[in-house]
Structure 1
């Protein structure tokens, strides 16, 4: 697979598991630690569009200023949400993985298998001991 990119937070177990699972499948992705190097407003728009989800679906509530900013309120436009994410990159949920087969918020981490190359990845054990078996099924490319 030519290019795989992960928007990663090394402090997040789901993000670490997703990165490890990508590497376990034999791919070395481009890793963007989005808290250090946040995506631009346009990149965020493109990411949301590529997932097929509204921008609001990429917001993270836990451990962020989501509640204090009242981001659950539908009054906020996408442009305003982009402003909030630009000011507080921690609001971007993670990990988001981009591959030629698609873009996906990978929660839980095994969701990444849907957008990796066809074929079975050997069984993988997450940090918490949960074992992941790859069915080999993939999204159509």
Structure 2
């Protein structure tokens, strides 16, 4: 069985709900604090490919940090490399939780998406 990785922020209600959902299904996973141990640029690149999302979807657009940095407008001018650098620099900028298993990944918590990742 593929090892699952769950990146989350413990104070985030959505992350707690996602964790409960996984546990209620008996899914074993490595639980990683997204702020204390943020994903590296290379990990983010891998998760991005596995998720099939566009890179802008990886940003936590409702987060305080996102607004403080005025990223809504700045992202339009940034390259994918610059966005990955920025995301890797601060776990609070990343949409969470991130759930990765095998060749699939998802950002945020939607049960249907988690089901897809579980395969």
TM-score using structure 1 length: 0.73
Which deviates further from its counterpart, 66-75 or 8-17? 66-75
Q: 1:110 to 1:4 in 2, by over 3 A?
A: same
Higher relative contact order (CA 8 A, sep 6+): 2
In the TM superposition, residue 63 of structure 1 has moved relative to its aligned partner by 2.6
Structure 2 residue corresponding to 1:92, chosen from 70, 83, 94: 94
Structure 2 unmatched ranges of 5 or more: none
TM-score using structure 2 length: 0.85
SS at match of 1:28: coil
Whole-angstrom CA distance in 2 between matches of 1:39 and 1:27: 21
Which deviates further from its counterpart, 37-46 or 67-76? 67-76
Does 2:50 align with 1:67? no
Structure number, greater radius of gyration:
1
Choose between structure 1 and 2: higher helix proportion. Answer: 2
Q: 1:50 to 1:85 in 2, by over 3 A?
A: same
**Could you tell me whether the CA contact under 8 Å between 2:8 and 2:33 is conserved in 1?**
yes
Which deviates further from its counterpart, 81-90 or 1-10? 81-90
Tell me the matched-pair count.
Answer: 117
Does 2:51 align with 1:51? yes
Structure 1 unmatched ranges of 5 or more: 117-138
The root-mean-square deviation of aligned C-alpha atoms, in Å, is 1.8
SS at match of 2:49: helix
